[in-house]
Amino acid sequence: MSTVTSFRPRTRRNVELVLLLLAIAIVLMAYLNVGLAIDGAFPPDLIKYGFGLLVLSVGFHLVLRWRASYADPLMLPIATLLNGLGLVMIHRLDLAYGRTGSRLLEPKQLIWSALAVLIAAGVIIVLRDHRQLRRFTFTAMALGLGMLLLPLVPGIGRNINGSRIWIGIGPMSFQPGEVAKILLVIFFAGYLVQTRDVLSLVGRQFLGIALPRAQDLGPILIAWLASVGVLVFEKDLGSSLLFFGVFVAMLYVATERRSWIAIGMLLFCAGSYVAYLLFGHVQARVLLWLDPFSEKALAISDQLVKGLMGMAKGGLLGSGLGRGHPEFTYFPESDFIVPSFGEEIGLIGLFALLLLYVLLVERGLRTALGVRDGFGKLLAVGLSFSMALQCFVVVGGVTRVIPLTGLTMPFLSYGGSSLLANWSLVALLLRISDQARRPLPDSEELAAASAAHTQVVRIQ
Amino acid sequence: MNKPIRRLSFIVALLFCTLLVSTTWIQFVTAKGLDNRPGNRRTLLESYSRERGAILVDGSPIAKSVPTKDDLKYVRTYPSAKLYSQVTGYYSFTYGAGGGLEGAEDSLLSGQSDKLFYRRVLDMVTGKVPSGASLELTINPKAQLAADKALGNQRGAVVALDPRTGAILAMVSHPQYNPTSLSSHNLDSVAAAWKSLNANPGRPAVNRAIAGDLYPPGSTFKLVTAAAALSSGKFTEESQIPGPATLDLPLSTTNLPTDDHQPCGPGGKTTLTHALEISCNTAFGWLGLTLGGDALRAQAAKFGFGDSLRVPMRVTPSTVPPLNAPQAAQAAIGQYDVRVTPLQMAMVSAAIANKGTVMKPYLVKDTRNSNLDVIDQSQPERLSQAITPDVAAALNRMMVTVVKSGTGTPAQISGIEVAGKTGTAQHAKGGAPHAWFVAFAPASDPKIAVAVVVEDGGNAGNEAFGGKVAAPIARAVIEAVLKP
């Protein structure tokens, strides 16, 4: 804990509180909007719901005041807003489908949100310094890979909607890939900060590309093979792309060598092409991507088409929450929650949502710039970039930029594993940002750091 | 490591910019196209949630939306049941809008048309529930009913035009169906109705008047040949032309006989008027040879053959293929590969009646808003000048003799001078021929032009002949319009 001195940089915790209250106000307005649009009456749950949201997020805010007072002030309000809006959409879809009792998704999501926030607060409290995680580099790898491959274990692995990315224990089902994402980023960061000098300096030139020594390549190849394994055996294109993309990005940041990007792209393209040739489900995805309106594609699935039609109907301004028909699309509360929002809050609303993600990622990258240790930088970059890439894969998939894959939109989509993972991710970023923004004892160093490292994009 | 982090930020910015572009592309740039895709349930639902415009004939609706208590707030009904089935088409939740005006003017009826933009803005400002535009048709209900009744249970089509404007006075195609069975909100019964409609060998969903399989015109095409002959300047109504019992066709082993295998006049000669009056095949075959295929094709094109018309439903263009000499002789009497819609033959008849000017046929007289105030009125449009007024007058006189003393006597109406031309189109060896009749009346000041086709001779079967089967139908329609 910092001591009180005459010179004390601002923690911005009050800004966070104001933004947090604003975020909750927006979410409650949206909730009210849905109630008025669908039932034409004031939704009676509103007060209970608003109170719950307030307790959770302000509780988290207080934890930050207590244990990470210099943490970034924007991340928590953004995460709260996205999480809250996701809940509103899931509630709205519950109403549209006429779900009742145990089939209601919104209460479940609310419980998962509470659990996720509690775990995130736990991360902040227990983890006093992110550098502690470096000790668990290889543990993280083992755990991460284990979780990634867990769905393949007979008995607990479940095949849902054509992808084997779920595990089920009793009535509970869980997508361990989401948590594996964070564990693998921790592993990449720990491993790369250890070997970055070797990777960027030792090695020999081959055809103009610097290749590392075979013994340094081992863990990397394992990671790559795991991601290919995910693609082939779990039929999960999205996770595979995500892991590999984050891995290449972190490798590039660690080594500052652009050749890694070239190698990564090459490997990825070759892998995708081979997968396209070998696997029918990949070919189907590509067909649905390139020509979703053809009869052949419609015979496979009209999910993408329905999502597109929903977004188109939303147009610029949207139908208004509760006034569209997102329930016409399959999985409108998970994989297709972005088209659901596009339909009801329009292009303008969707832009606002996307900008929230941009802002969140930008704060993460700024944290990476500001933090002083290599591990922290790599960790922050990895976590932020994974969030950015996941948004790209999800939104790009439903808007036909890339083939549709089965990933969830962070915070918005229905799903406990996704919420747990993303709140923990934000907790880690908050922890690192506290480290990055905390004043150094030496005021000269502090001045230098704040002058140089607060811009994400430096215009020269 | 800060340099690559900054570079990575650019990549992140690029990724998100791509998403901004792709969402804009879908929700703004191509949104309208996606909305209008067939099978878009949202568009369908939206169009059901507002009152769809009615289709009116003489002020009373033949298609209207009635409020219901179920989710789809309106149900479409067709008060005249089958009578207008091919004109209105159907409006089905499952199968969309199609088959007639419901499909062709969907955007107007549903209120989505750009033509209604100003009104929509006004509705939005005044808080009025937007509704679709109504269409008042040019149809004369008496003519429609008479045509429907006269055609009876025979397959075929009747089209009647006002030759002066091109307004369609009657459009009947048999067999018919009841579009209400497709617009029901009981989707199972709709699916069953749709299945039986498409399984019906008579294909009731097809509008034979404008878009069925094209028919061979038979002798009614002799009007076009005669028009070409008179327009060439080499012939008049009284010109003597050869009309032997059999015409030798060059480059061909088949010859062209007259219907009764007798010469059409003394010494195998006849006048043009007489040739048309008795529908002399050899005389018109000889004209075809003399004028040549290109002249026939050019004359046909001036009458509108080959044009893509919308009335507003799409009309299948009628065709005369490129012809060599023997084909020209056969085409001149409406055989070989000449194919027409009944509407096209009505247009030929109407052009002759209207001093040679072809008017563009149209079905919608005006468009009205929900208060039935007229917001758009159709103006008659000139399509072409097919023949000179002089040629038209000559053909008029010739067609009068057809009804007065020739093959078309069953079309006579006391007190009204009818001009007409029969046709009997052989289309399958051994099969009964299609019976044709085209006409207009009164000959001195034509107010109606009609084309009738009865498939496979109708109830007369092999005994069919245009004058006997089709002419009475034309007469009934003309009487319905002209007799008070």
DSSP letters along B301-313, please? HHTTTT--EESSS
Distances (CA, A) of A291 to A300, A315, A392: 12, 22, 20
Per-residue pLDDT of chain A (460 residues; tens, 9 = 90+): 555 554 566 888 999 999 999 999 999 999 999 999 888 888 888 888 888 889 999 999 999 999 999 999 999 999 999 999 999 999 999 988 888 888 888 888 999 999 999 999 999 999 999 999 999 988 998 898 888 878 877 777 777 666 666 776 655 667 888 888 899 899 989 988 888 887 777 666 666 666 666 666 666 677 677 777 777 777 777 888 888 899 889 988 988 877 778 878 888 888 888 888 888 888 888 999 999 988 888 888 888 999 999 999 999 988 889 888 898 888 898 889 999 999 999 999 999 999 999 999 999 999 999 998 999 999 999 999 999 999 999 999 999 999 888 788 999 999 889 999 999 999 999 999 999 988 876 656 556 556 665 556 655 5
Q: Find the catalytic residue in B219, B279, B349, B370.
A: B219
CB atoms within 10 A of CB B120: 15
Dihedral angle sign, alpha carbons of residues A429, A435, A439, A440? negative
Q: What per-residue confidence (pLDDT) applies to B270?
A: 87
Cβ of A378 within 8 Å of Cβ of B22? The answer is no
Question: What residues of chain A lie within 8 A of the CB of B27, using their CB?
Answer: 311-312, 314-316, 342, 346-347, 350
Do the Cβ atoms of B216 and B434 come closer than 8 Å? yes
Do the Cβ atoms of B8 and A365 come closer than 8 Å? yes
Cβ of A293 within 8 Å of Cβ of B4? The answer is no
Dihedral angle sign, alpha carbons of residues B167, B173, B178, B183? negative
Question: What residues of chain A lie within 8 A of the CB of B33, using their CB?
Answer: 312
Of A253, A308, A384, the CB nearest to B4: A253
Find the closest chain A residue to B33 by CA distance.
A312
Do the Cβ atoms of B75 and B66 come closer than 8 Å? yes
Using the structure block, give the residue that is written with the tokens 């109705």: B193
Task: State which H helix or E strand residue B87 sits in.
Answer: helix B85-88
Could you give the CA distance from residue A434 to residue A452 in angstroms, rounded to a whole number? 17
Instruction: Give the distance from residue A417's alpha carbon to the nearest chain B alpha carbon, in angstroms.
Output: 25
Cβ of A309 within 8 Å of Cβ of B40? The answer is yes
Closest by Cα among A364, A350, A362, A359 to A412: A350
Closest by Cα among B284, B217, B242 to B422: B217
Instruction: State the helix-helix crossing angle for A374-398 and A237-255, rounded to 10 degrees.
Output: 150
Tokens read off for B84: 């207008």
Domain boundaries in chain A? 7-126+304-358+409-460
Interface check B20 vs A, CB under 8 A: yes
pLDDT-based confidence at B25, cuts 50/70/90?
Answer: very high
**Please, what is the average pLDDT of chain B?**
87
Instruction: Give the distance from residue B43's alpha carbon to the nearest chain A alpha carbon, in angstroms.
Output: 8
Give helix then strand counts, H and E, for chain A: 16, 5
Could you give the CA distance from residue A310 to residue A327 in angstroms, rounded to a whole number? 10
Closest by Cα among B221, B118, B167, B205 to B363: B167
Cβ of A392 within 8 Å of Cβ of B45? The answer is no
Using the structure block, give the residue that is written with the tokens 């791509």: B18
Looking at the predicted complex, does its ipTM rise above 0.95?
A: no
Closest by Cα among B41, B13, B15 to A399: B15
Half-sphere exposure of residue A221: CA atoms within 13 angstroms, side-chain side: 7
Tell me how long chain A is.
460
Cβ of A309 within 8 Å of Cβ of B42? The answer is yes
Instruction: Give the distance from residue A293's alpha carbon to the nearest chain B alpha carbon, in angstroms.
Output: 10
Section B318-328 average pLDDT:
85
**Interface with B, mutate which of A311, A355, A390 (most B CBs under 10 A):** A311
Q: Which residues in chain B (155-214) have CB-CB distances under 8 A to chain A?
A: none
Could you give the CA distance from residue A58 to residue A42 in angstroms, rounded to a whole number? 25
User: Can you tell me whether residue A163 is helix, strand or coil?
Assistant: strand
Do the Cβ atoms of A328 and B42 come closer than 8 Å? yes
Interface check B46 vs A, CB under 8 A: yes
Could you give the CA distance from residue B258 to residue B169 in angstroms, rounded to a whole number? 36
pLDDT score of B46 more than 80 = no
Cβ of B26 within 8 Å of Cβ of A308? The answer is yes
Do the Cβ atoms of B232 and B226 come closer than 8 Å? no
Strand order in the sheet with B168-174: B168-174, B156-161, B448-454, B434-441, B419-425
Interface check B49 vs A, CB under 8 A: no
Q: Per residue in B445-472, pLDDT tens?
A: 999 999 999 988 777 766 667 778 899 9
Q: What per-residue confidence (pLDDT) applies to B301?
A: 93
CB atoms within 10 A of CB A102: 7
Q: B250: Cβ–Cβ under 8 A, 6 or more apart, which residues?
A: B289, B325, B326
Do the Cβ atoms of A120 and A450 come closer than 8 Å? no
Question: What residues of chain A lie within 8 A of the CB of B9, using their CB?
Answer: 362, 365, 456-457
Of A357, A381, A392, the CB nearest to B5: A381
Q: What per-residue confidence (pLDDT) applies to B133?
A: 87
Q: What per-residue confidence (pLDDT) applies to B57?
A: 92
Cβ of B26 within 8 Å of Cβ of A311? The answer is yes
Give helix then strand counts, H and E, for chain B: 19, 21
Find the closest chain A residue to B15 by CA distance.
A392
Domain boundaries in chain B? 218-366+382-482
Could you give the CA distance from residue A7 to residue A250 in angstroms, rounded to a whole number? 36
Do the Cβ atoms of A61 and A16 come closer than 8 Å? yes
Q: A407: Cβ–Cβ under 8 A, 6 or more apart, which residues?
A: A238, A239, A242, A335, A390, A393, A394, A397
DSSP string, A36-104: HHHTSS--THHHHHHHHHHHHHHHHHHHHHHH-TTS-TTHHHHHHHHHHHHHHHHHHHHHHHT--GGG-
Of B2, B15, B23, the CB nearest to A399: B23
Do the Cβ atoms of A367 and A380 come closer than 8 Å? yes
Do the Cβ atoms of B318 and B339 come closer than 8 Å? yes
Q: Per residue in B281-304, pLDDT tens?
A: 888 888 888 888 889 899 999 999
Tell me how long chain B is.
484
**Interface with A, mutate which of B6, B23, B34, B112 (most A CBs under 10 A):** B23
Dihedral angle sign, alpha carbons of residues B35, B36, B39, B42? positive
Could you give the CA distance from residue B268 to residue B290 in angstroms, rounded to a whole number? 17
Could you give the CA distance from residue A332 to residue A311 in angstroms, rounded to a whole number? 12
Section B162-175 average pLDDT:
94
Question: What residues of chain B lie within 8 A of the CB of A395, using their CB?
Answer: 19, 22-23
Instruction: Give the distance from residue B91's alpha carbon to the nearest chain A alpha carbon, in angstroms.
Output: 21
User: To the nearest 5 percent, what fractions of chain B are helix, strand and coil?
Assistant: 40, 20, 35
Burial group, residue A199, by CB count within 10 angstroms (0-12, 13-18, 19+): buried
Cβ of A312 within 8 Å of Cβ of B25? The answer is no
SS3 track for B429-444: CCCCCEEEEEEEECCC
Closest by Cα among A319, A165, A312 to B28: A312
Cβ of A381 within 8 Å of Cβ of B20? The answer is no
Do the Cβ atoms of A52 and A110 come closer than 8 Å? yes
Cβ of B15 within 8 Å of Cβ of A389? The answer is yes
Task: Provide, rounded to the nearest whole percent, the portion of chain B with pLDDT above 90.
Answer: 41
Q: A100: Cβ–Cβ under 8 A, 6 or more apart, which residues?
A: none
**Interface with B, mutate which of A308, A357, A432 (most B CBs under 10 A):** A308
Least confident of A442-451, B211-220, B415-424: A442-451
**Assigned CATH topology for domain B218-366+382-482:** Beta-lactamase (3.40.710)
Long-range contacts from A216-222, C-beta under 8 angstroms, 24+ separation = A219/A141, A219/A191, A220/A247, A220/A251, A222/A141, A222/A145
Least confident of A203-212, A364-373, B335-344, B373-382: A203-212
Could you give the CA distance from residue A311 to residue A334 in angstroms, rounded to a whole number? 16
Cβ of B27 within 8 Å of Cβ of A457? The answer is no
Could you give the CA distance from residue B14 to residue B9 in angstroms, rounded to a whole number? 8
Q: Per residue in B88-146, pLDDT tens?
A: 999 888 788 888 898 888 888 888 777 777 776 776 676 666 678 889 999 999 999 99
User: To the nearest 5 percent, what fractions of chain A are helix, strand and coil?
Assistant: 70, 5, 25
**Interface with B, mutate which of A200, A253, A265, A393 (most B CBs under 10 A):** A253
Could you give the CA distance from residue B316 to residue B307 in angstroms, rounded to a whole number? 9
Question: What residues of chain A lie within 8 A of the CB of B29, using their CB?
Answer: none
Could you give the CA distance from residue B308 to residue B218 in angstroms, rounded to a whole number? 22
Find the closest chain B residue to A325 by CA distance.
B42
Q: How far apart are the first and last CA of chain A?
A: 37
Pairing relationship of beta strands A204-206 and B357-359 according to DSSP bridges: unpaired
DSSP string, B89-129: -EEETTTEEESSHHHHTHHHHHT--GGGHHHHHHHHHHTPP
Tokens read off for B411: 């079309």
Q: B95: Cβ–Cβ under 8 A, 6 or more apart, which residues?
A: B182, B190, B194
Cβ of A347 within 8 Å of Cβ of B27? The answer is yes
User: Would you call B219 a catalytic residue per the annotation?
Assistant: yes
